Structure 1
Amino acid sequence: MASVQFLSAIFLCLICLNSLLLCFNLSYSSFLRHSGEIGRQNCLDARSENKSIKVKRCSTCEREKIIFLGAVIKIVDDDDILQCECTIVNDFWAVTTTSCIDLIEEDFNLFHITSGSLKWQTGNKHFIRRIFSHENGLIKESISLIKVHNPFVIYPEQLIILQREWSNINSNSIQLYGWSHYRSLDSDFSMISNEKCRLTYEKFHGNVSLLNTFDDDVFCMNFCQYHIGNPLVDNGFLIGLSSNLNVECADNFLPGKYLKISYYYDWIVNTMNIN
């Protein structure tokens, strides 16, 4: 009889413990939802030692950056190599730079695009169907488009809106995206004239003339990214892509050079519509 009472007591204790765990789980889930709602603002307030930028470091912010970011991957034996980056602008299309396309060989079977994951190594795979490059790419860095076989429609993949007309950049909303980092800039950033930017790069390259590479299709700023094709976003619009020179600016504190999306807007839209 005593053993029955003992077992009954243990059973009641287990029921109580299970109820407590259930209540804790519900409370914690509510806390996580609340944290997600305020996470964006909290991340925007996280500053780096360099006061000219704010650096997002939390998991909520990490999720924000993956929805339209793509990685151009080369398959080498059993390894994947990140070649450059692209940005989703349509269910079947991603935009990047000609220097990124130059890294892709004719055999598209050796390459694919990954997206929709916190890590480019584990993203959704999209296989390349066709590639189109603007005619400017024959003489200098320019815009290119990649069309894929399987569409960018797997959650959380999402396209970004292209900036149609160039306008003054909003210092409160400009953002830099990349697989290894994410930056939301402070008001200390500034535009740099193309002439000053060109002279700085020419001096760095030993006074080699770069006159035709800093025209109306590009703009420069006092910061840069580390990878080819990194998207620059202002108020939810794609306004620029980092050029191949940005690899040098990251290592040598040079101005960042960006391809101007609004300059290529008509070509991008027309190319997607007819292909």
Structure 2
Amino acid sequence: MLSGNGVPFGAALVVVVVALISQGEGIIGGREAAPHSRPYMASIQLPEGENLKHECGGFVVADQWVMTAAHCLPAGPNGRKVVLGVHSLSEAEETKQTFDILELHNHPNFLESNYDNDIALIKLDRPFNASEAVAAVDFLRGGGTNPDTDAEVEAAGWGSLDNLGSRPDRLREVVMDVVNPVRCRRSDYFGRKFTGNMICAHKLCPEPCDGPHRKEDTCDGDSGGPLLFNGIVVGITSNGGKKCGQLKKPGIYTIVSHYTEWIDNTMGLQPAATTDPGA
């Protein structure tokens, strides 16, 4: 699913910086989500003439705050808008709410070379109007339990459907399995690019494969979107292989619980109780 800047909703990046980088993540496989079943989803869009074009995903975490990936807006907002209440990018849905970016906070330790600390917070120009189509989602805080190897996790976004860059109009979602971090650190996977701040996940297609893809994954345009475990956000779609859906290049997701203090300080929040999807 999900990314912007050209990076997949969970896919795309550098090879040792080059072979591993791609610019955005999108969903390979998966299915269309039920309209507005994920009311926390945000579409970060760049003005293109009189229209807006989807670049990256994000998700609502408070009445005026959206979380996303730092690589989505590396040079600042530059006129981008945040659209909530979206299912179809093209249709004039009454549920849509469009916002200017009042503040952008990219994590100060974000590394473009390997996308470590790939997390950002956007403050909208006003609080959103809560509805069935727009609502905040809980995210895992420090001390919570992150999913183990083989745990089922979910991602969603408007990212590319294939490596040809075909983009969906409507929100898609995918269920994947967490990959053992030891495997993702192997030299034939990501090597040193993969850090302790990352989760990797994908869904292998059972043999014989029924669909056109060997695995399900996020891809270009999905970046910045959420990775959920038992309904709680545990990760942010960050990067993966140069091509989406490669067997040894699962999508990489930033572990949100590692940034609780920075999130609270940025949003001016008092420490809150842990919401633990593993409890």
TM-score between the two structures when normalised by the length of structure 2? 0.64
Q: Shift of residue 175 of structure 1? A: 1.7
The question of whether the paired residues in 2 share the 8 Å contact of 1:114 and 1:120 is answered with no
Question: Are residues 170 and 124 of structure 1, via their aligned partners in 2, closer, same or farther at CA, if it must alter by over 3 Å?
Answer: farther
Q: Provide the C-alpha distance between the structure 2 equivalents of 1:201 and 1:170, rounded to a whole number of angstroms.
A: 16
Query: Is 1:168 matched with 2:152?
Result: no
Shift of 1:192: 2.5
Amino acid at match of 1:250: C
TM-score, normalised to structure 1, is 0.65
Higher relative helix content:
1
Q: Distance in 2 between matches of 1:68 and 1:151?
A: 14
Q: Given that residues 242 and 257 in structure 1 are in contact (C-alpha distance below 8 angstroms), is that contact kept between their aligned partners in structure 2?
A: yes
CA distance in 2 between partners of 1:54 and 1:76 (Å): 28
Give the match for residue 90 of structure 1.
Answer: 62
Which AA in structure 2 matches 1:74? L
Match of 2:157 in 1: 178
Q: Indicate if the aligned counterparts of 1:69 and 1:87 stay in contact, CA closer than 8 A.
A: yes
For 1:262, the equivalent position in structure 2 comes to: 257
Match of 1:215? Answer: 195
Instruction: Report if the CA contact (8 A) 2:80-2:100 is conserved.
Output: yes
**Counterpart of 1:88 in 2: which secondary structure?**
strand
Shift of 1:154: 4.0
Distance apart, 1:120 and its partner CA: 3.2
Name the aligned partner's letter for residue 117 of structure 1: V
State how far apart, in whole Å, the 2-side matches of 1:170 and 1:115 are: 32
Equivalent position SS for 1:135? coil
Aligned residues: 204
**Alpha-carbon displacement from aligned partner over 1:35-83 (angstroms, at most 9, x marks no partner):** xxxxxxxxxxxxxxxxxx994447xx23312x00001111121121111
1:137-176 mapped onto 2 (5 Å cutoff): 137-138=110-111, 140-141=114-115, 142-155=118-131, 156-164=133-141, 165-169=144-148, 174-176=153-155
**Corresponding residue for residue 115 of structure 1:** 84
Could you report, residue by residue, the CA deviation over 1:207-237 in whole angstroms, capped at 9, with x for unpaired residues? xxx62x3221111123431121121111121
Deviation at 1:200, TM superposition (A): 3.0
1:225 correspondence with 2:218: yes
| Residues 249, 229 of structure 1: alpha-carbon distance in 2 compared, 3 angstrom cutoff | farther
Aligned AA for 2:83?
T
State the distance in 2 between where 1:196 and 1:169 align. Answer: 14
Matching of residues 1-275 of structure 1 within 5 Å: 55-57=30-32, 61-65=34-38, 67-102=39-74, 105=76, 107=78, 110-121=79-90, 122=92, 123-138=96-111, 140-141=114-115, 142-155=118-131, 156-164=133-141, 165-169=144-148, 174-179=153-158, 180-185=171-176, 189-194=177-182, 196-197=184-185, 199-202=187-190, 211=192, 213-223=193-203, 224-226=217-219, 227-245=222-240, 248-253=242-247, 254-273=249-268
CA RMSD of superposed structures (Å): 2.7
Counterpart Cα distance in 1 of 2:83 and 2:134: 10
- Identity over aligned pairs, percent: 21
Q: More relative contact order in 1 or in 2 (CA 8 Å, sep 6+)?
A: 2
Are the aligned partners of 2:178 and 2:199 in contact in 1 as well (CA < 8 Å)?
no
Deviation at 1:88, TM superposition (A): 0.5
Contact 2:149–2:179 (8 Å) recurs in 1: no
Equivalents in 2 of 1:249, 1:260: separation in Å? 22
Distance 1:183 1:222, change over 3 A: closer
Secondary structure of the residue aligned to 1:267 is helix
Q: CA deviation at 1:249?
A: 4.7
| Structure 1: runs of 5+ lacking an equivalent | 1-52, 203-209
Question: Are 1:69 and 1:85, in contact at CA under 8 Å, matched by a contact in 2?
Answer: yes
Q: 1:194 to 1:143 in 2, by over 3 A?
A: farther
Q: Which amino acid aligns with 1:225?
A: T
Report the residue type matching 2:196 in the other structure: D
Rg larger in structure: 1
